[in-house]
Amino acid sequence: MSTLQWIDAKSVDEAVALLSADAHGTIAKAGGMDLLDLIKEGIVAPTRIVNLQHIDALRGVQFAQATGLRLGALTTLAEIAGNSSIRERYPALAEAAAHAATPQIRNAATIGGNLLQRPRCWYFRNELFHAARQEVGREQAQYGAIFDNSKTTMVHASTPATALLAYGASVHVAGKSGKARAIALSDFLLPPDFNRPRDTALANDEVLTHVSLPAIGANTRAAYHKQTERDSYDWPICDVAVVLTLANGKVEAAKIVAGAVAPVPRRLTASEKALVGREIDESVAAEAARAAVRGATPTEKNSYKVPILETVIRRTILAAMA
């Protein structure tokens, strides 16, 4: 029988030191929602778990008009969904958190762990495929990527990431000797890979400390929609976040991001360009949505996602203006 050591770290420095001392056998735990699954699925087999839950510095939601929003890594999805400042100023993020997983999971799942979770691809999660270290049956990937999918059809599992990217979020990490760095979330998330221990730019011996979002202007409108097969909790067919800055009734700047359609959430620059300088109505929103799906490369089993994505983009643009 293998043994497992459990340590309640009291500070970020202590957690970093423990992770640095044994980068392969030691693993951090936040809410434990994905970690427990990964252990059960035989994807990770830690000998030591560093529990982050007692580190006060990783907690807290702070908002300031001048600097924006700071989310401690241990902020739960339920806290994000229920926070009044976030609901008022970053509604697409609040909606994304509110629609992730189930109420029980949202109460435990943290934003740090959510961004660091591994993909939900059947072939990745099923131990029968671990030996192959690759996606067997790529063409069967009915929930997989419809863009940028020549190397992998796995998609990043985080749905809050879609909204965070649309708000221009950055991730902050701490490493050895107090070394801290900030990384744009767009650079932090990496395409999922069977052969890497994680799908982010986090190093083995680093702790994610917080996520920051820039301040939001008064003329910002935003919306988020997660499209699922069923109304009860489910992983998305796609999700879309739209953040628009308006001036004199026209779109001055647009950020549109879609998740679950590419290995990492995809910025829809063609849709953004189609909106800038224009007043939004049904036909402008439809044109922008059409622009996004041009060039999609679905597999045999997931071409159904293309028209769904187009519809969700159009509706989410209109919802942002409602």
Ligand X SMILES: Cc1cc2nc3c(=O)[nH]c(=O)nc-3n(C[C@H](O)[C@H](O)[C@H](O)COP(=O)(O)OP(=O)(O)OC[C@H]3O[C@@H](n4cnc5c(N)ncnc54)[C@H](O)[C@@H]3O)c2cc1C
Give the interface with ligand X as residue ranges (CB under 6 A). Answer: 27-35, 52, 73, 100-102, 105, 108-110, 112-114, 116-117, 157-160, 207-208, 233, 235
Instruction: Give least dist CB 178 to ligand X, A.
Output: 15
Residue number with CB closer to ligand X (207 or 244): 207
Note whether 193 and 172 are within 8 A (CB): no
Tell me the residue number closest to ligand X, measured at CB. 113
Instruction: Give least dist CB 278 to ligand X, A.
Output: 32
Residue number with CB closer to ligand X (74 or 293): 74
Instruction: Give least dist CB 81 to ligand X, A.
Output: 12
Residue number with CB closer to ligand X (174 or 288): 174
What would the 3-class secondary structure string for the chain be? Answer: CCCCEEEECCCHHHHHHHHHHCCCCEEEECCCHHHHHHHHCCCCCCCEEEECCCCHHHCCEEEECCCEEEEECCCEHHHHHHCHHHHHHCHHHHHHHHCCCCHHHHHHCEHHHHHHCCCCCHHHHCHHHHHHCCCCCHHHCCCCCCCCCCCCCCCCCCCHHHHHHHCCCEEEEECHHHCEEEEEHHHHECCCCCCCCCCECCCCCCEEEEEEECCCCCCEEEEEEEECCCCCCCCCCEEEEEEEEEECCEEEEEEEEEECCCCCCEECHHHHHHHCCCCCCHHHHHHHHHHHHCCCCCCCCCCCHHHHHHHHHHHHHHHHHC
Residue number with CB closer to ligand X (164 or 275): 164
Residue number with CB closer to ligand X (34 or 79): 34
Instruction: Give least dist CB 114 to ligand X, A.
Output: 3
Note whether 63 and 69 are within 8 A (CB): yes
Instruction: Give least dist CB 281 to ligand X, A.
Output: 31
Instruction: Give least dist CB 146 to ligand X, A.
Output: 18
Cα Rg of the chain, angstroms: 20
Residue number with CB closer to ligand X (14 or 287): 14
Residue number with CB closer to ligand X (111 or 275): 111
Of 322, 256, 249, nearest in space to 279 by CA: 249
Instruction: Give least dist CB 291 to ligand X, A.
Output: 27
Residue number with CB closer to ligand X (31 or 298): 31
Instruction: Give least dist CB 56 to ligand X, A.
Output: 13
